[in-house]
């Protein structure tokens, strides 16, 4: 008998999402009765605001929502995204430049598919969200990591980008506020990077999904607001998941120049067609309705941010840059490595994360998921009591 043909080499090379893997392990331990506290998932613990849920309930009773709608999104939602893009990113676009996607991940995937050809290099500032390199690889691109450590507040410079640029460089990933670090580029830093990309004809994939979650009076200026001329070679990625506690609704979007949006729209017409109409109606309510609860969420994140940064800083050997956006803290834990803790001597942050889970019953994501070893990502999008208890367990472990 002839052997079965092999599976796709491209898909077989794709790694599982590290953050989801750690979160799944934590949930499995919790289900088994262990009192595990998880900082793994980038998911707000708040309920979606009721007025958004009510809008979805109304939409369920409208038979028009039971049918196919335009693959690129409901016209009324695309117009709302146009308004948000002008308000928060300082960019005036037409609705024809918007595609509504199944969450931000699909927008990221389609952005790379739209601008990359086989062998094209993408400059990927590290630490980076775990999905970016895999999405680049799926588009037959080559991720080129450009690392900035805690001493730079995890923000790359133009000099670093220029040193990594080759004649194959086609795109740059720009994320501010950052997942996993929470770092926010200043207006001057953003402008410098934007002008550099413009000068070299490099596409910018700018993930702005955390742009409304900033603290201490900081503003996360969009790269297209800092350098308006860059709009013709930039794709903005965004969504409602983080700001409005709507992770499970799976509603994101991409905004870009018409030619790039056209090829991405063609892809989506075959890949998924329209996003669930109920979720689209809910997103419309989120973007056009009252913003008071979203602001309450932001204030709660800010309180938790200050708490976790202060408590982690009490652990000797841990360096904690102050995150000014998103809901993550990314401590440098190299000072804990190579030392014995309860009979074990971790030499990598992966081993350290395993130690913390086993000995303190606290789940964190190791730096290897986002770039070099020596770091941990903790999401503070969980309840205040659990947040404090988890850090205190770590303080006791490393006392």
Q: What is the mean pLDDT of residues 367-374?
A: 95
In whole angstroms, give the CA distance from residue 148 to residue 154: 5
**pLDDT(16) > 90:** no
- Please write the tens of the pLDDT for every residue from 136-151: 999 999 999 999 999 9
Count of CB atoms situated within 10 Å of the CB of 32: 8
Q: What is the mean pLDDT of residues 325-343?
A: 97
The answer to whether the bond into 127 is cis (omega within 30° of 0) is yes
Q: Looking at residue 383, what is its pLDDT?
A: 87
| Between 218 and 30, residue with greater pLDDT | 218
The answer to whether the bond into 177 is cis (omega within 30° of 0) is yes
β 365-366/376-379 pair status: antiparallel
Q: Looking at residue 19, what is its pLDDT?
A: 74
In whole angstroms, give the CA distance from residue 127 to residue 145: 9
**pLDDT(64) > 80:** yes
Instruction: Return all residues near 135 (Cβ < 8 A) that are at least 6 apart.
Output: 105, 108, 109, 112
- Please write the tens of the pLDDT for every residue from 18-45: 777 777 888 888 888 889 999 988 899 9
Specify the pTM: 0.95
Q: What is the mean pLDDT of residues 193-199?
A: 98
**pLDDT(78) > 80:** yes
- Please write the tens of the pLDDT for every residue from 227-270: 999 999 999 999 999 999 999 999 999 999 999 999 999 999 99
Give the H or E element holding residue 306: helix 292-312
Residue 261 contacts residue 98 (beta carbons within 8 Å): yes
Q: Looking at residue 21, what is its pLDDT?
A: 79
Q: Looking at residue 137, what is its pLDDT?
A: 97
Q: Looking at residue 131, what is its pLDDT?
A: 94
Closest among 271, 44, 46, 245 to 254, alpha carbons compared: 271
Q: Looking at residue 32, what is its pLDDT?
A: 86
Instruction: Return all residues near 359 (Cβ < 8 A) that are at least 6 apart.
Output: 341, 342, 344, 397
Q: Looking at residue 146, what is its pLDDT?
A: 98
Handedness of CA 22, 101, 197, 188 (dihedral sign): negative
Residue 291's alpha-carbon distances to 247, 296, 383, in angstroms, are 17, 9, 21
- Please write the tens of the pLDDT for every residue from 140-185: 999 999 999 999 999 999 999 999 999 999 999 999 999 999 999 9
Q: Looking at residue 140, what is its pLDDT?
A: 97
In whole angstroms, give the CA distance from residue 114 to residue 255: 12
């Amino acid at each position: 008998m002839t052997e079965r043909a092999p599976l796709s080499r491209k898909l077989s090379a794709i790694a599982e999402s590290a953050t989801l893997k750690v979160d799944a392990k934590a949930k499995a331990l919790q289900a088994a009765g262990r009192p595990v506290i998880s900082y793994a998932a980038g998911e707000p613990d708040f309920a979606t605001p009721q007025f958004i849920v009510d809008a979805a309930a109304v939409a369920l009773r409208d038979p028009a929502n039971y049918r196919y709608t335009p693959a690129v999104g409901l016209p009324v939602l695309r117009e709302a995204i146009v308004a948000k893009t002008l308000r928060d990113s300082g960019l005036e676009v037409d609705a024809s430049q918007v595609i509504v996607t199944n969450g931000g991940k699909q927008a990221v995937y389609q952005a790379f598919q739209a601008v990359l050809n086989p062998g094209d290099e993408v400059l990927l500032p590290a630490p980076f969200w775990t999905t970016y390199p895999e999405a680049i690889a799926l588009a037959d691109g080559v991720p080129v990591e450009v690392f900035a450590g805690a001493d730079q507040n995890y923000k790359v410079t133009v000099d670093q980008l220029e040193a990594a640029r080759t004649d194959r460089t086609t795109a740059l990933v720009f994320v501010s506020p950052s997942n996993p670090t929470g770092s926010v580029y200043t207006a001057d830093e953003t402008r410098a990077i934007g002008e550099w990309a413009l000068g070299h004809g490099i596409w910018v994939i700018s993930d702005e999904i955390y742009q409304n979650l900033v603290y201490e009076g900081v503003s996360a200026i969009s790269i297209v607001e800092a350098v308006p001329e860059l709009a013709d070679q930039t794709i903005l990625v965004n969504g409602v998941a983080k700001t409005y506690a709507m992770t499970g609704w799976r509603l994101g979007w991409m905004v870009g120049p018409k030619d790039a949006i056209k090829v991405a729209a063609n892809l989506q017409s075959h890949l998924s067609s329209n996003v669930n109409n109920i979720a689209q109606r809910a997103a419309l309510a989120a973007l056009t309705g009252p913003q008071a609860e979203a602001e309450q969420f932001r204030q709660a994140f800010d309180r938790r941010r200050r708490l976790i940064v202060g408590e982690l800083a009490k652990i000797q050997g841990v360096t904690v840059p102050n995150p000014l956006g998103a809901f993550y803290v990314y401590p440098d834990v190299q000072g804990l490595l190579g030392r014995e803790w309860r009979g074990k001597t971790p030499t990598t942050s992966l081993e350290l994360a395993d130690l913390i889970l086993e000995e303190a019953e606290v789940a964190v994501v190791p730096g290897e998921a986002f770039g070099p070893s020596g770091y941990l990502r903790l999401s503070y999008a969980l309840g205040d009591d659990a947040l404090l208890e988890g850090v205190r367990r770590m303080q006791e472990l490393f006392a």
